C-alpha cells in the first residue's frame, strides 16, 4: 500500500501541474491505462486471500476514483483556458475605419458606356454586340462599300493573313457599323439598338489610338425620317451632358451607308481654355465642333440586310466614346486612356457605387 500511496501522491501532483491537454492525457494513461499503475494494482487483487482482498479492494478503488476526479477537474481547467486563448486570438475589430482610399476604379470609358446604355434604355433601345474580329462583308460590303469603294482605303484596316471558310477577308472591325447589319439580319424589323464597343484602325497620335471605342445607334421602323434622328440625338446629348441648352447643327455629308448623310456639330464655348458644350455655335464667343456622323440608312444597306426598303426605313449614327468621355470629364490626351497608369485611373476613374441612373443623374460621381 505504501508503494501505491507513493504513486498516488506523485500522480496527483503531476495532474495538478499538467500544463497541456497532451500532458494530462499522458498522466491518465500512466495511471488508468491498460498498463497503468492503478490497473496493475487492481490485477493484484486476484492473487490475494479473501481477507486481504476485502481490505485492499476499497482502498485501490478509492485511489482510482480520486485520480479520475483529479484528471477530470484538471481537464476542465485546461479546456477553459484553451477556449479563452482562442477567443482572444480570433477577434475582429469592427471599429477599425475603412481604408482611406478604396482601391480600383471604373474606367471613364466603362462609365460613359454605362451612362449611354442608361440614357438609351430609357428611349427603348437595346444594347447589341458583334465580334471585334469581323469579315469584310459585314464591315464593308453590306454597308455599301464594295471591294473597290474608295472609302475602304480611308479606314486604315488591320487585315488578317487568312480568309474564312467562305472566302471572306478577315479583319479587326474598323467601326461599330457592322453591328447594324448583324442586328437587322438576326432580329429583323422594327429595331432600336445601340452597339458600344472596341474598334481598330492603324493610326496613332495624340487624338488617335490603334484601338478606340465607338457607339453605334440604329432605328429601323416604318415612316422613319430625319426629324426622328434629330430629336433622338438632341435628347440623348442633353441627357448625357446634363444641359438643356445643347444646340445641334446638321451639315450635309457623305457616308456610303447613309443617304442622306449628315454630320452633326454641337455648339460650345471656350471657358478657361476648355470646351464647354452648350449654346448655339453662332453666338458670340461660341463655335461649332463636329461630334458625330449619321444619316438615313441607305436603302441598299436595308436590302443587303434582308429587309424590304419600301417598307422599312431607318436612321443611324456613330460616334467616338473616348472623345465623349474627354469632352464630359475634361481629359486632353487620348493615349492616357490606355496607359494603365494608376495615378490617372485614380484621378479620372469612378467608384463602383457611381452607377449612372436617370433618377440620380448620369453624371453622378463628379
Q: Choose which of 115, 216, 265, 322 interacts with ligand DAH (CB under 6 A).
A: 216
Least distance to ligand DAH from the beta carbon of 216, Å? 5
Residue of the chain from 37, 200, 212, 255 that contacts ligand DAH (CB under 6 A): 255
Are 171 and 136 in contact by the 8 Å Cβ rule? The answer is: yes
Q: How far is the CB of 169 from ligand DAH (least distance, A)?
A: 18
Q: Which of 332, 365, 349, 149 is nearest to 254 (CA)?
A: 149
DSSP state of 48: S
Question: For residues 187 and 185, what is the distance between their CA atoms, to the nearest angstrom?
Answer: 6
- By CB under 6 A, name the one of 130, 197, 256, 295 that touches ligand DAH: 295
Q: Closest distance between ligand DAH and the C-beta of residue 320, in Å?
A: 8
Question: 218-248: buried (b, 16+ CB within 10 Å) or exposed (e) per residue?
Answer: bbbeeebeeebbbebbeebbbbbbeeeebbb
Q: Which is nearer to ligand DAH, 197 or 279 (CB)?
A: 197
Which stretch in 42-50, 238-246, 316-324, 337-345 sits in contact with ligand DAH by CB under 6 A? 316-324
Kindly determine how many residues on this chain lie close enough to bind ligand DAH according to the rule CB under 6 A.
Answer: 11
Q: Which of 111, 258, 298, 313 lies at the binding interface for ligand DAH (CB under 6 A)?
A: 258
Site for ligand DAH in 168-197 (CB under 6 A): 175, 177
Q: 117, 316, 324, 334: which one contacts ligand DAH (CB under 6 A)?
A: 316
Let me know how long the chain is. Answer: 366
Per-position DSSP letters for 231-279, written without gaps between them = HHHHHHHHHHHT-TTB-EEEEEEEETTEEEEEEEEEEEEEETTEEEE-B
Instruction: Verify binding: residue 317, ligand DAH, rule CB under 6 A.
Output: yes
Region binding ligand DAH by CB under 6 A among candidate stretches 113-121, 132-140, 241-249, 291-299: 291-299
Residue indicated by cell numbers 490485477: 43
313's enclosing H/E stretch is strand 313-320
In the complex, minimum distance from the CB of residue 289 to ligand DAH, in angstroms, rounded to a whole number: 16
* Cα distance between residue 208 and residue 224, in whole Å: 34
List residues near ligand DAH by CB under 6 A: 175, 177, 216, 255, 258, 293-295, 316-318
Amino acid at each position: 500500500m505504501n508503494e501505491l500511496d507513493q504513486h498516488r501522491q506523485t500522480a496527483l501532483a503531476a495532474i495538478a501541474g499538467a500544463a497541456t491537454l497532451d500532458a494530462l492525457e499522458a498522466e491518465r494513461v500512466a495511471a488508468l491505462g491498460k498498463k497503468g499503475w492503478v490497473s496493475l494494482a487492481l490485477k493484484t487483487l486476484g492473487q490475494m486471500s479473501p481477507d486481504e482482498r476485502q481490505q485492499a479492494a476499497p482502498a485501490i478503488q478509492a485511489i482510482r476514483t480520486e485520480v479520475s476526479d483529479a484528471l477530470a477537474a484538471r481537464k476542465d481547467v485546461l479546456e477553459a483556458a484553451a477556449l479563452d486563448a482562442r477567443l482572444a486570438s480570433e477577434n475582429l475589430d469592427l471599429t477599425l475605419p475603412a481604408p482611406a482610399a478604396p482601391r480600383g476604379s471604373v474606367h471613364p470609358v466603362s462609365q460613359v458606356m454605362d451612362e449611354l446604355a442608361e440614357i438609351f434604355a430609357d428611349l427603348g433601345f437595346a444594347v447589341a454586340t458583334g465580334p471585334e474580329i469581323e469579315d469584310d462583308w459585314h464591315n464593308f460590303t453590306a454597308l455599301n462599300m464594295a471591294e473597290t469603294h474608295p472609302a475602304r482605303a480611308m479606314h486604315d484596316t488591320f487585315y488578317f493573313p487568312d480568309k474564312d471558310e467562305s472566302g471572306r477577308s478577315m479583319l479587326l472591325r474598323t467601326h461599330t457599323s457592322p453591328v447594324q447589319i448583324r442586328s437587322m439580319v438576326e432580329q429583323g424589323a422594327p429595331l432600336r439598338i445601340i452597339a458600344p464597343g472596341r474598334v481598330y484602325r492603324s493610326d496613332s497620335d495624340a487624338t488617335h489610338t490603334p484601338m478606340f471605342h465607338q457607339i453605334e445607334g440604329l432605328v429601323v421602323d416604318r415612316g422613319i425620317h430625319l426629324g426622328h434622328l434629330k430629336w433622338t440625338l438632341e435628347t440623348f446629348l442633353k441627357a448625357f451632358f446634363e444641359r438643356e441648352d445643347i444646340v445641334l447643327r446638321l451639315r450635309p455629308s457623305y457616308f456610303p451607308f447613309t443617304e442622306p448623310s449628315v454630320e452633326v456639330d454641337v455648339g460650345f464655348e471656350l471657358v478657361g481654355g476648355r470646351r464647354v458644350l452648350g449654346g448655339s455655335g453662332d453666338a458670340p464667343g461660341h463655335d461649332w465642333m463636329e461630334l458625330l456622323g449619321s444619316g438615313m440608312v441607305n436603302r441598299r444597306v436595308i436590302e443587303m440586310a434582308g429587309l424590304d426598303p419600301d417598307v422599312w426605313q431607318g436612321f443611324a449614327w456613330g460616334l467616338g466614346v473616348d472623345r465623349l468621355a474627354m469632352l464630359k470629364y475634361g481629359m486632353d490626351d487620348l493615349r492616357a486612356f490606355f496607359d494603365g497608369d494608376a495615378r490617372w485611373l485614380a484621378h479620372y476613374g469612378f467608384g463602383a457605387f457611381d452607377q449612372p441612373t436617370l433618377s440620380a443623374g448620369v453624371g453622378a460621381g463628379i
